[in-house]
Structure 1
Amino acid sequence: MSGRIFLSSPDVGEREEEYLLAAVRSGWIAPLGPDVDAFEAELAARVGVEHAVAVSSGTAGLHLGLLGLGIGPGDVVLTSTMTFAATANAITYTGAKPYFIDSEPDTGNIDPALVRQALEQLADDGESAAAIVPVDLLGKAANYSEICAIAAEYGLPVLADAAESLGASHAERPAGSHGHAAVVSFNGNKIMTTSGGGMLLTDDAELAAQTRYLATQARLPLAHYEHVDIGYNYRLSNLLAALGRAQLSRLDAMIGRRREMRERYRDLFTEADGVEIFGGDDDENDNFWLTAIVVDSERAGWEPAELSLALAAENIESRPMWKPMHLQPVFSDARRVVNGTSEALFGRGLTLPSGSALRESEIERVHGCIRAFLEGRR
């Protein structure tokens, strides 16, 4: 069988090798170093914020961002139900409780109207939320114009989970620049990678300083080791930051490649009745991290799982869209405001190989398998 084709494998080459080798030869092998400082400055400039703190993962960034905003035990944090578990896990790490909000049908992102409904319900119950954590789904930024306006009415900070949206934008502002702070991810499958890693982005100097402090084991600046707070080993290493700098220099080209694949999928499914490119009517400002289809099985005559099985038979990865957090057993008792949208997207959606590292022969293999499947269902 041919080699496996993944949804989004790392796109690395000679430039990454050059940057990484230079970092090794510099002697800065231990955590932190000049590449970390440069990576933070370069990404902050790219996104348009004053401060950036490189950390070991996007999850670590969310955890520290929440702590820096004062989130703790007993607090209620509104967040998207259509997300990966890391978002909800980070909230739980602080002792707070996630309150899940359902999605807009066209984008899968958190529905501002339901955010307001949840806040009103909390107020009616004599309660309040402590923060809002929207999630940018599959490379499309959430509607921060409305979300931040609602948050301002209630005096709430917004911590944007932009793990999937680096390079996208909303209202002519880059993803990662919205809210009180934002967190991006450099996991191996993201739009750009440092193998593992993430970064907190903010204009708040105090929040950035607190994040940096907690991420380095809350060590005080003394000759000996002195600690008055519980800290975390959450900083990014200099070697991985060097890899990230190389990736950042290629980000626009990688987004362009994924945009091209989105268009090719759009052409491929044009004649397929009951199949739509997810979020495709308004994707000009996306980063095209993953392309997904949404299938109306009654019209199409087939289920997404059937196509997934056909792809798997050819050693090609595909995956349903995120299973909503309110359906996850670990969060079965969490409060939620749901309208059925995220559950429908989970049942009807399928993500397809979208990585910028895909070779033309691999793209043709994926498309050939899909064409054969569609022809067999006509």
Structure 2
Amino acid sequence: MTNQNIESIPFARPSLGQEEEEAVLKVLRSGWLTTGKEAQAFEDEFIRYTGAAHALAVNSATAGLHLILEALGVKEGDKVLTSSYTFTATAEVIRYCGGDPVFVDLAPGSMNMDPKDCEKKIKKLLDEGQNVKGILPVHIAGNPEGLEELFALSRRYGLFLVEDAAHCFPVPSKKGMIGTWTDAGVYSFYANKTITTGEGGMIVFQDPQLKERISAMRLHGIDKSVWDRYTSLKAPWEYDVIAPGFKYNLNDIAATIGRVQLRKAKELLNKRKALVQAYRTRLKDADFLDLPTWKEDHAWHLFIISLRLDKLNIDRNQFMNILRDRGIGTSVHYKPLHMMTYYRERYKLKEEDLPLATGLYHRVISLPLFPDMTMDQLERVCQVILETGESHRSKAEMESVK
């Protein structure tokens, strides 16, 4: 049980202040709460900030991924290659369209999908006469490692590449901000993300022909937005439905929070980076841990450590339970999708089919990381981790120390 006298340190906490409160109050007092001028302004400011060709705000990254795959024509039986090492949303949006995810294992030493395994599976699918449509990589923890190789692969085989960039904002690269120079990228503004609107997301994409389709499909397939109908001099009830669309629009209350958060994005990222550097310094001598490699071009949405289980007499879950009982919030990112009942049974998958993803899952722990985390809190997290590791060394490790 947690000691009630010890402050609990949450796994994540949004960094919100008076500016966000005042922005929300302004919207509430305006009388217009749904998608309107705040959402439009958020999109425009996002384009200027990122250099994206086009940006459309949605009520979740899941919605954004669904919309872009639908607009790119994913349909029944199409194959889309993606990582198994991700949240279920990445694969489920492929199923929404009737397509099938084809899971790619991790690159050695990475948490992102392996370009070599990806190409191997593309070739096999094509040899079987399958309709391979695209590649959907995931930037775990905010690290875009392997993206250039996967993008080159997509061009080689005539496939689209859509980035699940839910963790990866804002990250620069030589070609531009991650998410903006492939076919499309989708960011998440969920409560624990690098900037937040509570719930929300943004699609960025290159092809102007996609804009009309996505804009309509995010709001019931109607050819005009609510705000356009409201502000138009023409009869607002005169609109057309071009397809059975979805209810994926971002409201102005969320959008106005996003506008404030966007102005703070660099500051919030720098705070995360300072915490990551402190974690790495404090834990660098713990021989029972593998730490993430420092990278400047990384969003650091998560700080994920890996246990060296051969040096411990407890497993990952037991280690996490000790941290929980001492008031430390943690999480696991992720249990691979090929181990989940739906995907395992539908596609007849086994754990050994993706051995690197399976093996990593049993060792990883995501530590508390949020912009307003104090160095005192970080020190306590590190102290508990170090004490836990030292007090639970394996018998072989104890013998080697002697």
**TM-score, normalising length: structure 1:** 0.93
SS at match of 2:362: helix
What's the Cα RMSD here?
A: 1.9
Pairing of 1:16-31 with structure 2 (within 5 A): 16-29=20-33, 31=34
Match status 1:325 vs 2:329:
no
Letter in 1 for 2:57: A
Instruction: Name the CA distance, whole Å, in 2 between partners of 1:61 and 1:270.
Output: 38
Q: Given the alignment, which residue of 313, 328, 338 partners 1:316?
A: 328
Match status 1:86 vs 2:100:
no
User: Paired residue for 2:19?
Assistant: 15
Letter in 1 for 2:165: A
Letter in 2 for 1:269: L
Instruction: Name the CA distance, whole Å, in 2 between partners of 1:142 and 1:210.
Output: 31
Q: Given the alignment, which residue of 52, 56, 60 partners 2:59?
A: 56
User: How far has the Cα of 1:20 moved from its partner?
Assistant: 1.8
Q: Given the alignment, which residue of 223, 239, 260 partners 1:246?
A: 260
Q: Given the alignment, which residue of 136, 139, 145 partners 2:139?
A: 136
The answer to which of 203-212 and 327-336 deviates more is 327-336
Letter in 1 for 2:32: W
The answer to which of 190-199 and 135-144 deviates more is 135-144
SS at match of 2:141: coil
Closer, same or farther: CA 107–321 of 1 in aligned 2, 3 Å: same
Matched length: 375
Pairing of 1:206-285 with structure 2 (within 5 A): 206-221=209-224, 223-224=237-238, 226-278=240-292, 280=293, 282-285=294-297
Instruction: Name the CA distance, whole Å, in 2 between partners of 1:273 and 1:303.
Output: 16
SS at match of 2:193: coil
User: How far has the Cα of 1:252 moved from its partner?
Assistant: 1.0
Closer, same or farther: CA 273–345 of 1 in aligned 2, 3 Å: same
Equivalent residues of 2:53, 2:180 under 8 A apart = no
Match status 1:358 vs 2:364:
no
Letter in 2 for 1:240: A
Instruction: Name the CA distance, whole Å, in 1 between partners of 2:239 and 2:45.
Output: 31
Match status 1:121 vs 2:124:
yes
SS at match of 1:138: helix
For residues 338-369 of structure 1, the C-alpha deviation after alignment (integer angstroms, 9 at most, x for no partner) is: 54111111011111001112234433332332
Equivalent residues of 1:100, 1:334 under 8 A apart = no
Q: Given the alignment, which residue of 10, 35, 38 partners 1:35?
A: 38
SS at match of 1:174: coil
Match status 1:173 vs 2:185:
no
User: Paired residue for 1:340?
Assistant: 355
Instruction: Name the CA distance, whole Å, in 2 between partners of 1:305 and 1:335.
Output: 27
User: How far has the Cα of 1:277 moved from its partner?
Assistant: 1.0
User: How far has the Cα of 1:24 moved from its partner?
Assistant: 2.4
Instruction: Name the CA distance, whole Å, in 1 between partners of 2:240 and 2:129.
Output: 42
For residues 182-229 of structure 1, the C-alpha deviation after alignment (integer angstroms, 9 at most, x for no partner) is: 100001111111000001001221212211110111113473353241
Equivalent residues of 1:215, 1:233 under 8 A apart = yes
Equivalent residues of 1:99, 1:335 under 8 A apart = no
Letter in 2 for 1:101: V
Letter in 2 for 1:133: L
Report percent identity of matched pairs: 30
Runs of 4+ in 1 over 6 A off after TM superposition: none
- Any gaps of 5 or more consecutive residues in structure 2? 225-235, 394-402
Equivalent residues of 2:77, 2:131 under 8 A apart = no
Letter in 2 for 1:233: K
The answer to which of 172-181 and 136-145 deviates more is 172-181
Equivalent residues of 1:319, 1:352 under 8 A apart = yes
User: How far has the Cα of 1:28 moved from its partner?
Assistant: 2.5
Closer, same or farther: CA 205–3 of 1 in aligned 2, 3 Å: farther
Pairing of 1:181-196 with structure 2 (within 5 A): 181-196=184-199
Instruction: Name the CA distance, whole Å, in 1 between partners of 2:145 and 2:209.
Output: 26
Closer, same or farther: CA 38–220 of 1 in aligned 2, 3 Å: closer
Closer, same or farther: CA 150–70 of 1 in aligned 2, 3 Å: same
User: Paired residue for 1:101?
Assistant: 104
SS at match of 2:24: helix
**TM-score, normalising length: structure 2:** 0.88
- Any gaps of 5 or more consecutive residues in structure 1? none
User: How far has the Cα of 1:167 moved from its partner?
Assistant: 1.1
Closer, same or farther: CA 178–79 of 1 in aligned 2, 3 Å: farther
Instruction: Name the CA distance, whole Å, in 1 between partners of 2:62 and 2:165.
Output: 11
SS at match of 1:229: coil
